[in-house]
Structure 1
Amino acid sequence: MSQARTPRRPAILDAARAEAIIGDEDPAELSAVAHSTAWALLGVEDDTFGEAEIARLREVVRSQGVDVVAHVWSRSPEFTLPGALWRLYLLAAWYHRHPADVQSRYDEGSQSAHIPGLEAPVAVRFLESVIDEVDALLRGDLSDDDLDWILSAAARVLRVLAAGHSHSGRWIVDPSDALAYPVTTRIQALVRTADELDAAAREAEVGTLN
């Protein structure tokens, strides 16, 4: 499935320029950068990212971390690829920053008699395995062919995390938290994000996720 897509406006890989774009709040240019970097990370070429540019992007991400590009996805709608990758990034970052807390929530949710959005009996995977897959996607180790099942797996994780009675769908409640974005601080954030990732997975499966 990895192939050249319809050319979009040129994106600019340089992180400083990307920061300037966000500061200028140019929606069209920011959207172009977000889409181009997101698809390039998955190995999909366009008029800006050819094979060499994709290799460079992946090298930068693997050496410096996906944070160097993830910030340009943060304002992308949930029904787009950069919006979906942003949600995966937030989940992975949450786990890596607070592994014990997230694992505890996951264990509690796994014991719930009812996990909203999942049919019983629920087959619960190891949390670390799913995060490893998300990390691999965000490093550029995988391709767009892997996108739908990773989005689905992440959505299931979020539903399990939401099922614990102690937390009731909360994600980030402290506004000063480094991960306090509109995605993570809204009401029932975990369930709503799971719904969005499931919708993105369905689009990815049929090749219509933009």
Structure 2
Amino acid sequence: MTERMSGYRRPSLPGPQVFEAQAEDADPAELAAAGHRIAHLLVRGPHDETDAGFVTRVLHLADEEGLGVIADLWSHAAPDTVAGALWRLYLLRTWVHGEPEEAAREFAAGKAYAPVHEVLAGVVDPPGPDEVLMLVDTVVRGIVGEDFDVTLDRAAAFAHIVGVGRAQLEHCDAASAARIVDMATHLRRAASLERQGTLH
């Protein structure tokens, strides 16, 4: 999946909103610390989930700031952290929005092999491009909700089905399918830690 998104734009820091306080020549350690602070602010900070404007900004964070900026802040974070979980959520959303037909095709191919995951993911049947786009946006909106663990579980279920589906297709890229299943495993683990109150 990450290879398919190698062409994402990389606007320079600082971004106009959430990342405006970051310097372009920030030290990597400072950037990592800032990434964790921003991740915690998005998920745990004081905000109103009924504030449509805020929810929209969170949803379109990767669109507005650029996936490259988010990658700089979060892609090196451990998967069992808030920052690492957010990186995987935004990476998944960016891929689905870039290739909704492919995402729908892979989901359709995988859902028969993972019926429990299908129910948790919550994609309308049959899963077309519009349905997978709607699901991934609904999941990312959940970042600002009270049930971050459910958001992570739904994303994990979707990623698991897509990874399994990719492996079933003719001329599949087995390595990328395995990476998506790994992403699902990381998201599921993050959800478990969130329920235990130990996702930091």
Instruction: Answer whether contact 2:100 2:133 (CA < 8 A) is retained.
Output: no
Q: Select which of 19, 22, 45 maps to 1:17.
A: 22
Which of 58, 66, 74 is the matching residue for 2:61? Answer: 66
Identical aligned residues as a percent: 27
SS of equivalent to 1:20: coil
Change (3 A) 1:206 1:32: same
What is the TM-score of this pair, normalised by structure 2? 0.67
For the 8 Å contact 2:164–2:181, the answer to whether it is kept is no
Q: Which residue of 2 aligns with 1:179?
A: none
TM-score calculated relative to the size of structure 1: 0.65
Question: In structure 1, what is the Cα distance between the partners aligned to 2:197 and 2:84?
Answer: 16
Q: 1:169 to 1:190 in 2, by over 3 A?
A: farther
Deviation at 1:73, TM superposition (A): 1.2
Equivalent runs, 1:1-210 vs 2, <5 Å: 13-15=18-20, 17-21=22-26, 24-25=27-28, 27=29, 29-44=30-45, 58=54, 62=57, 65-67=60-62, 68=65, 70-71=70-71, 72-111=73-112, 114-115=113-114, 123=119, 125-126=122-123, 127-137=132-142, 142-143=144-145, 145-164=146-165, 165-166=168-169, 167=172, 170-171=175-176, 188-210=178-200
How much does 1:32 deviate? Answer: 1.8
Shift of 1:136: 1.1
In structure 2, runs of 5+ residues without a counterpart are 1-16, 124-131
In structure 2, give the amino acid aligned to 1:125: G
Q: Given residue 202 of structure 1, which amino acid in structure 2 is its aligned partner?
A: S
Report if the CA contact (8 A) 1:169-1:191 is conserved: no
**2:13 corresponds to:** none
| Count of residues in Structure 1 that have an aligned counterpart in Structure 2 | 161
Secondary structure of 2:187's counterpart equals helix
The alpha-carbon distance between structure 1 residues 119 and 107, as it changes in their structure 2 partners (threshold 3 A), is: closer
Instruction: State the alpha-carbon separation in 1 of the partners of residues 96 and 156 from structure 2.
Output: 14
Deviates more, 1:61-70 or 1:36-45: 61-70
Shift of 1:17: 2.6
Deviation at 1:159, TM superposition (A): 1.1
Which whole-Å CA distance do the structure 2 matches of 1:102 and 1:190 have between them? 12
Q: What amino acid sits opposite 2:42 in the alignment? A: L
The answer (yes or no) to whether the contact 1:151–1:198 under 8 Å persists in 2 is yes
Q: CA RMSD in A?
A: 3.1
Q: 1:36 to 1:58 in 2, by over 3 A?
A: farther
Q: By how many angstroms is 1:35 displaced?
A: 1.3
Instruction: Assess if the C-alpha contact under 8 Å between 1:147 and 1:204 holds in 2.
Output: yes
Distance in 2 of aligned mates of 1:75 and 1:94: 18
Structure 1, residues 37-62: CA drift from partner, whole Å, max 9, x if none?
111112425xxxxx7xxx9x948x71
